[in-house]
Structures are given as structure tokens and as C-alpha cells.
Amino acid sequence: MLVFVCRSHPEPTQTFHRRMAAAVAALGVPTTRVALRRARGAPPGPADDGTRFLREEGGSALAAFARRPLRALALLAGGVCRARSGDKEGGRLGAVAAWRDGLALADLVRRRGDVTRLHAQFAGWDATAARVAAALTGVPFGFEVHNPYLLVVGRGALAAKVRAADVVTAIAATTRRRVLDLVPEAADRVRVVRCGVDVAHPPTPTASTPRFDVVAVGSLVPRKGHDVLVRAVARLAATRPGVRAAVVGEGPERPRLAAAIAATGAPVTLLGALPEAEAGAVAAAARVAALACVVAPDGDEDGVPVSLMEAMAAGVPVVSTPVGGIAELLDDGRAGLLVAPHDAAGLASALGRLLDDPALAARLAAAGREAVRARHDLPSCARDLVAALGVAPAPARPAGR
């Protein structure tokens, strides 16, 4: 049994991981998905996608600690020593909480008896818990590196997890190189496994879907660069009356973005968080999809935004920045336009080119769709993950049984 581990569920910005787990299961690999915690505000009861919750499955941190107290304490000491105060994983207190989740996960693994591998969704809290559970049970573990943030602010903790894991998957070749810059001896264990989207069934707008010239889909957090987009759209509107833009997503930057929109007069609508299908439809109905990603002051940055992949699959031309693995996604500008981070004037110019030149927009839309089909088709990515993890489909049951 392959167990996918995530920190919390449901998280509207992490639907890509649920899709990947389902695609792996569709290949015949016995899988389950375990959330260490129920997301804040989530309703009680079973998850509608089959995700299980660690506490409700009966994992006992105390029972796991009692079985191997010295090993458990050594893991705690190492995690606390490597934790960095103020990071997004909660610093030392976060390290203790993730260790406790790992103990409970270890107890669940022991009681189930059928778990053959743990694979964590991200390199932070969930990977820490998976590492603890693996160390206490002997079950191998791996994890995915998406956001390069931990390569900047959590290098010691990440390096320890890379060395302990038998497989680490990176969502882009750029990400893999950065992991190997940190732990060069792990070259044979760090594999590129890209995020996948449903290329065969991309988001489709309906008659009721609102139409905008430019749409950005992403949480309202600094690394998305939505403030740069607001300034760019304000510039664009000065020469193109009637242009309209929208941002789909929610987050702590909303007040600052609303103030910037009011101050600049930019025709940008903050649509808030939308259900997955609606968010995809709004982007698919746009003339251009944009994400002005930046490296945030705290070092946070994007990996490869799934919203860009989905827009490309829907045949929408895209504009973004060469942050994280985005240049790789856009084939260094051949499958979409790239502008420098923080460059509102450059972004406005790129948006204007696509809005003014239908032939260019159509050419880049076709190239983008092909790039996603070639590298990010979900079933193909699921097969890549299965190969990287070395898991196999369950044997077929004999007919008549």
C-alpha cells in the first residue's frame, strides 16, 4: 500500500495532489491518502475524495513513542536543532508538532500492516512527519519538492530529509538542480516528476462564466506578484480603454491589493476563492492568463504554478516570469511570454502584445497547449511517479473470484 501524506485537507490550492494520487490509483497501484490534520474550517465527517484523517484513523503518538522512546527522542532533537525560528513550518514549535504527527503516523503504519511506502506531498511539515514514521517503522519514504522556499530558509532541515529519503521527486529540472546543489550525493535518488493536469478535459467556460481580458489564478500571497499585475493593468488601461482583468484567489494580501487597485484605478476585479471548476473556467474564458510571480522578501517563491498549466491546456496564451520552474514550463519563452519579475512596464507591454496581435496569441496558445500535452499530461506524470517510487500495480484477481 502506497500512502500519500499531506499536512491538511481539504486545501483548495492543492487539488493537483489529489488528482495525482487518484491517477496513480487508476494505474492499479494500491494507494490511500492520509491527512495529518483537518483543514481549518473544514466540515466534520469523511472526505468526499476518500482522504483519511490521521487522528480519526486512530494513530497514537504515545503508543509509537512507548515502543521506541530513545529513537523518537533522537528524531525530535535533530528536528528541533535544524528548525529555523519564524519559518513557514512554525520554527521549533512546528518541528515538535510535525514530530508528534510522525509518531501518530508511525502507529497507524504499524497497525495497518500493509503499508509499503510513504510519500509526502511537500518537503516541509508532511515530509518531516513521514521521515519520523519511516525511521520508527522501517517503511521507506519519499517526498516532493515543489516550492523552492525551503532551499532558501530551511536548508539544514531539507538536506537531512533528502539524505534520509530513498526517493525525492522534483517538479522541474530546475528544482532538481537546486536540490542537488544542496545535497550533491543524492543525484541517483532525486528524480524529476512533473505535476500533471487533465489535458484531455481542460477547463471549459459556460455561458454564465464572466469574461475578462486578463486573468490571474493564484493565492493572494506576495510570491504571486499580483501587485505587479495591478500596476501593469493600470498602465494597460491608460492606452486601451475597456480592458478588464481579474484575480481569482484569496489570502492575506487582499487588503493591500484592494488598496493598490483603488489608488491606481486599475480595472482589476478580485473574485476571491472559487471552486476548482469555476476558477478554471474563468481562466479558460480569458484572452490572456498571467502570473507575475516574484521571489518574496522572505525567500518564498513559486515552483511551477498549476494554474498556468491549466490555462495552457485550455488554449489560453500566458505571460509570466522566469521564477522557479516557470521558464521551463514556458519552454524559455517559446510557449508563452516571459518578463522580468517586478517589471510592471514590461508586463503591461507583453499583455498588450497578446491583446493586440491575435496571430501571436494563437501561435503561443497552440505552443503552450502542446508543451503541456508533452510534459504535463496527468496519466503520463502518474506513470513517471510510479516508476520513480518503484511501486507496482496490484496483481490481477483471477476471473470468477
3-state secondary structure the chain: CEEEEEEEECCHHHHHHHHHHHHHHHCCCCEEEEEEEECCCCCCCCCCCCCEECHHHCCCHHHHHHHCHHHHHHHHHHHHHHCCCCCCCCHHHHHHHHHHHHHHHHHHHHHHCCCCEEEECCCCHHHHHHHHHHHHHCCCEEEEECCCHHHHHCHHHHHHHHHHCCEEEECCHHHHHHHHHHCHHHCCCEEECCCCECCCCCCCCCCCCCCCCEEEECCCCHHHCHHHHHHHHHHHHHHCCCCCEEEECCCCCHHHHHHHHHHHCCCEEEEECCCHHHHHHHHHCCCEEECCCCCCCCCCCCCCCHHHHHHHHCCCCEEECCCCCHHHHCHHHCCCEECCCCCHHHHHHHHHHHHHCHHHHHHHHHHHHHHHHHHCEHHHHHHHHHHHHCCCCCCCCCCCC
Percentage of residues in the chain with pLDDT exceeding 70?
95
**Which of the residue ranges 72-86, 200-214, 232-246 would you say has the lowest mean pLDDT?**
72-86
What is the pLDDT, as a whole number, of residue 307? 95
- 5 pLDDT more than 50: yes
Go through the domains of the chain in sequence order and give each one's CATH number. Answer: 2-196+378-389 (3.40.50.2000), 214-375 (3.40.50.2000)
Return mean pLDDT, the chain. 92
What digits encode the pLDDT tens for the residues 305-317? 999 999 999 999 9
- 344 pLDDT more than 50: yes
pTM metric for this prediction: 0.90
What is the pLDDT, as a whole number, of residue 127? 94
What digits encode the pLDDT tens for the residues 63-108? 999 999 999 999 999 888 887 655 566 678 888 999 999 999 999 9
